[in-house]
Structure 1
Amino acid sequence: MEKNDTPKLDDLDFAILSYLQQDGRMSFTVIAEKLKVSIGTIRTRFNKLIEDGTINIVGRVNPENVGFHAYAHIAVFVRPASLNEKIAQKILKMPEVSFLAMTSGDYDLEVDVMCRDNDHLVRFIDDLAKIEGVHQTKTTMYFKVYKYAQPDLGLLK
């Protein structure tokens, strides 16, 4: 599959994904029973979804429960704009980064970070500001996260 090709998913694939979003540890046996198909069908489809990059298996932790108490959104203004990709590649390598995207609008890159505490966050912002081409940053602290979720697949229907 070409990198830019979107995998072709059918109703069974979406049903499997929905069950896994509810409980990532749900067994193939349970999913097969709920969908009235064989375990082999679920296993084959699951493996295809992993191979084509539709899903990956991770253990999502609650940042607060494991010691990350400074969670922030940082808008990054890049000058000249031709450095966006180069700067994004450097930011990708920073372990505090939980989300990174190129944006349209007032700023060029959007970065979410999880840091141990405010001192750690300040050091991160200082390191970010030292990257060549980072013209300005604007940080918004998240005091309390009310929802952190994957997309609701039901919205595609």
Structure 2
Amino acid sequence: MSQVKMTVNGKEMSGEAEGRTLLSQFLRETLGLTGTHVGCDTSQCGACVVHVDGVAVKSCTMLAMEADGADVATIEGQAAADGTLNALQQAFQDHHGLQCGFCTPGMIMSAADLLKTNPQPTEAEVRHHLEGNICRCTGYHNIVKAIMAASGQDVSSIAAE
């Protein structure tokens, strides 16, 4: 076991981890941040997306020790301290971009990554960026609409499904 230290959502955190401990496992089981979901353990679903040093990564593909000293952002750090949702989270709620909610943390973290580099993506760009995230409930239409709305674009002409 080795000590792993990182800044998570702006707070210094640490815990012990074996060399084989995945970042997703460390976040959930050691640090108690269960918003990062694990749906597949094979890097297929995207439910475990977090940001490490500003880059979106599937945390089931990274060892906790690789994040030692890193700045990690999870879904728990997206809302304001008083619980107010950020614009992206609010757009998911307003535009029904979730159903069961299992994929939502990974979708929001992936979408935040997209909007950081492309503040007003087209529908095609949003769909392309989300190719690594799987949703089994929504059919993606309202997820795409929510992301575009969060970017400040008019989505009134996009039909609801």
Identify the TM-score tier after normalising by the shorter chain: under 0.3
Structure number having the greater helix percentage:
1
- The alignment's TM-score, normalised by the length of structure 2, stands at 0.25
Whose Rg is larger?
A: 1
Higher fraction of strand? 1
The two structures have a TM-score, normalised by structure 1, of: 0.25
